[in-house]
Amino acid sequence: MKTATGITRVHNGQLIDGTGAAPVRDAVVIVTDGYVTYAGRSADAPLTPGAQVVDAGGGTIMPGLIEAHIHLTYFNVTELQDLDIKYPVEYVTLQAAVNAKTALECGYTSARSGGCLHNIDVWMKKAIEEDLIPGPRLTASGREICGAGGLMDWNPDYRRIGMEGIVFIVNGPDEARAAVRKLVKDGIEWVKTYPTGDAASPDINDHHTLSMTFDEMHAVVETAHNHGLKVTGHCRATEGIRNALRAGYDAIEHGTFMDDECLELLLKRNVPMCPGLGFELFSVERGKEFGLSQQVIDGHQETLEAGSESCRKVLAAGGTIGLGGDYGFGWTPHGTYAQELTFFVNDVGFSVLDTIRCATLGGAKMMGREHELGTLESGKLADVLIVDGDVTKDISILENRNKLLAVMQGGFIKAGKLAVCER
């Protein structure tokens, strides 16, 4: 992805740098050749004669948001079969490109894929990096891995309908290794697995069910790490979280029923977690609208409450949390990502600054790119969000695209009211 040339001076706004530090009320951010070279008090800022000047209008200057668990190939579906059975890969690819553009327009300058039909995110990443299409900087995970009879293997054999475009179904460590090796060839960065079940599929398993054995999980990790890839997993059940951490997983998705032993392991290995609570919240609030059974809704209520408590534990203990709400389903449509932040402030009990830190630096850590993304500090890429309003007083402002003055990526303003056509 190209970076801008020259100097840009962003002024007349309060700075939230993403580190968790207190806001700087009268701040300046200086961007030189696409990188931040100063972020701090206006009174201490160096002179920049001839610089392009961007007026924040008294609003908020902050890092670009990072969506830590996105499904670009899910186009607001209610059933995953809709993707793998009903629509050709060409159509899904076009939908993914639309979703990537939407994410950038919502202030998300980076995103981490939580699984993707036919490894389309690998090619989406390439297209974005080559400036062929607009979208967030992307980390690709491609097709997922699940044990036979687990969450993603819900079609009975008599129907003779698989989910090959979305997931590898494995039986035993050897098949797990083979699945990883296929992903290696396709160029993914993260191997996404399903150690546990979910409330969404109670007829096969629930959120306390184990969908993979420890030996299968260890085989995935061993093979992936041998090829320099990282491993994450959909972990709700306590034993599934524990198995993932013992097997050497590099991140945890959800971490719903986390006990003290799991928390100790998480902190000891410095493993980040993406809770994805938006999916649970809106499954409860909007489930009936989309035909979810009361049994499923009740299950999501249980995971919502337990997941919120796990988040509070991890934050209090100093662990790393990235925010991403499993967006791409009918009840979590693309374009509504920032609802996750509002929920964490209003319902989970995080402070605004902690929430923003999770949605910026936390996401960068989950991507493995915290050295260049996630905060507005000298030497980092100039991925900057300028917001019309004070997000410390009302974080829900971030849900309104009309309040985004500028979405800057590598020093270029690519979306928002101040966006220009030049790239």
Q: How many domains does the chain have?
A: 2
Q: Do 32 and 76 lie in a common domain?
A: no
> Do residues 258 and 389 both lie within one domain?
no
CA 247, distance to chain mean position in Å, is: 23
Bridge partners, 344 (sequence order) = none
Of 102, 68, 137, 62, the residue nearest 352 (C-alpha): 62
What pLDDT is recorded for position 422? 42
Q: Give burial (CB, 10 Å; 0-12/13-18/19+) of 379.
A: exposed
The position carrying tokens 């009361």 is 294
Residue 95 burial by Cβ neighbours in a 10 Å radius (0-12, 13-18, 19+): buried
**pLDDT tens for residues 97-106?**
999 999 999 9
* Cα-Cα end-to-end distance for the chain: 11
Task: Give the DSSP letter string of 222-286.
Answer: HHHHHTT-EEEEEE-SHHHHHHHHHHT-S-EEE-TT--HHHHHHHHHHT--EE--HHHHHHHHHH
pLDDT value for 160:
67
Q: Are residues 275 and 390 in the same domain?
A: no
| DSSP conformation letters of 28-74 | EEEEETTEEEEEEEGGGPPP-TT-EEEE-TTSEEEEPEEEEEE-TT-
Tally of CA atoms within 13 A in the half-sphere of 307 that contains its CB: 32
Does residue 356 fall inside a structural domain? yes
* Domain that residue 18 falls in: 7-63+374-415
Q: Is 45 in the same domain as 86?
A: no
Q: What is the mean pLDDT of residues 65-88?
A: 84
| Integer CA distances (angstroms), 163 to 69, 85, 119, 203, 364, in order | 21, 8, 13, 17, 31
Residues 38 and 162 in one domain: no
What's 250's domain CATH number? Answer: 3.20.20.140
Instruction: Give the CA distances from residue 166 to residues 82, 89, 120, 319, 342, in Å, rounded to whole numbers and listed in that order.
Output: 11, 11, 10, 31, 31
The span from the CA of 120 to the CA of 96, in Å, is: 8
Pairing status of strand 190-194 against strand 144-147: parallel
User: Based on the domain organization, do 143 and 14 belong to the same domain?
Assistant: no
Same domain, 183 and 42: no
Determine the average pLDDT of the residues in 144-160.
Answer: 82
423 lies in some domain: no
Domain match, 331 and 356 both: yes
How many CB atoms lie under 10 A from the CB of residue 86?
11
Please check whether residue 420 lies inside any domain of the structure. Answer: no
The average pLDDT across 23-36 equals 98
Residues 196-200 have a mean pLDDT of 86
For residue 248, is it within any domain? yes
The pLDDT score that the predictor gives to residue 405 is 97
Same domain, 296 and 329: yes
> pTM of the prediction?
0.95
**Does the residue 353 lie in any domain?**
yes
Q: Which residue has the higher pLDDT, 109 or 75?
A: 109
CB neighbourhood size of 94 (10 A): 11
Look up residue 421 and give its two tokens: 């056509």
Token code pair at residue 93: 């690819």
Do 221 and 272 lie in one domain? The reply is yes
Q: 54 with 72, same domain?
A: no
| Percentage above 90 pLDDT, the chain | 82
Residue 254 has pLDDT above 90, yes or no: yes
Instruction: Tell me: do 137 and 27 sit in the same domain.
Output: no
pLDDT at position 423 over 60 = no
Q: Are 381 and 3 in contact (CB under 8 A)?
A: yes
| Boundary of a domain, candidates 367, 385, 407 | 367
Task: Indicate whether 325 belongs to any domain.
Answer: yes
Considering the chain, what is the average pLDDT of its residues?
Answer: 93
Residue 402: give its domain's CATH number. Answer: 2.30.40.10
What percentage of the chain exceeds 70 in pLDDT? 96
The answer for residues whose C-beta is within 8 angstroms of residue 309's C-beta and 6 or more apart is: none
Quote the tokens at residue 86: 């009903």
User: Is position 421 within any domain?
Assistant: no
Sheet holding 65-70, edge to edge: 65-70, 108-113, 137-139
Confidence at 68, pLDDT banded by 50, 70, 90: very high
